[in-house]
Amino acid sequence: MDFVRNFVRTNPGEGHLALFWLGQAGFLLKTAGGRAIAIDPYFTDSVMRTIPEEGLGFKRLNPPPCEADDINFDVLLISHEHGDHFDVDAIEAMMANGRTQVYTNAPVAAEMEKMGLDMARVHVMRKGERILLDEFSILPVDCDHGELAPEALGFVLDFGFTRVYYAGDTAPTWDRLRAPREIRPEIAILPINGAFGNLDGLQAAEYAGMLGCKICVPCHFWTFPLHHGDPQQIIDALPKSAPDCELRLLRQGEGFVY
């Protein structure tokens, strides 16, 4: 509950944004107006439950910093249908407050409809089609998660004073990552696990240099044994690949105000 109290007490102020890592690929942002924006939160052990054939390979190694219904999300972004991004065991609790608006891709929306969730609060996004909300906009962008999730999305959140790029699960297919490179976001959240087609730490550092971002936040590591990930790679590589970029290597539940 310390994390929840810290989040509630955090007031970024005008022209500022708070960003917290929930573990794995999950993040929680708080705006100056107090809005809570969750991106791909994973609160349960549903991946191990739904893929039992992998045994301990997908066992959750760290507990979440809070429970799924501890914080009322105003906006919930879900990049694709894989269980560590779309937590099927937690989604009902995350929507139980009656106000959370979900923005996601078509496969996730279809699954939510099968689950009998409130589809009036579920919005399907398409790459390149910007969504305007209070305080910020969402631009769904391309990523390359291969045949594992061909409709997977990345996001660029534009708050006016800064832009946050969430790469989602992506391989270093640079021609498909052209849009965020042209936008040149101030903050880039990049995977570093180097498994299932994702960037590793060296590739993430190279990508940060291409993006020209001021801050790089690595994620997607140390939740499952099979996901691998070595943060020391990006610690060593970022000063060479992106010398003007600051690395924010967060503990699970840790955050910062930008």
State the Cα–Cα distance between residues 242 and 244, nearest whole angstrom: 6
Residue 73 placed within a domain: yes
Residue closest to 172 by CA, chosen among 191, 151, 185: 191
Residue 33 placed within a domain: yes
* Segments of 79-198 assigned E as strands: 101-104, 122-124, 131-133, 136-141, 154-158, 163-166, 187-191
Position 86 scores a pLDDT of: 98
State the Cα–Cα distance between residues 44 and 245, nearest whole angstrom: 33
pLDDT over 90 percentage in the chain = 96
Q: What is the domain extent for residue 222?
A: 2-248
Q: What's the whole-model pTM score?
A: 0.97
Position 106 scores a pLDDT of: 97
pLDDT digits (tens, 9 = 90+) for 73-111: 999 999 999 999 999 999 999 999 999 999 999 999 999
State the Cα–Cα distance between residues 228 and 156, nearest whole angstrom: 26
Under DSSP, the state recorded for 55 is G
Overall average pLDDT of the 144-162 stretch:
95
Q: How many domains does the chain have?
A: 1
Question: Does the pLDDT of residue 120 top 70, yes or no?
Answer: yes
CATH number at residue 102: 3.60.15.10
Confidence of residue 227 (pLDDT cuts 50, 70, 90): confident
pLDDT digits (tens, 9 = 90+) for 6-61: 999 999 999 999 999 999 999 999 999 999 999 999 999 999 999 999 889 999 99
Residue 31 placed within a domain: yes
Tokens 């923005």 correspond to what residue?
103
Burial-class residue 73 by CB neighbours within 10 Å (0-12, 13-18, 19+). buried
Overall average pLDDT of the 127-150 stretch:
96
Residue 174 placed within a domain: yes
Confidence of residue 176 (pLDDT cuts 50, 70, 90): very high
Question: Does the pLDDT of residue 1 top 80, yes or no?
Answer: no
Residue closest to 174 by CA, chosen among 142, 148, 200, 147: 142
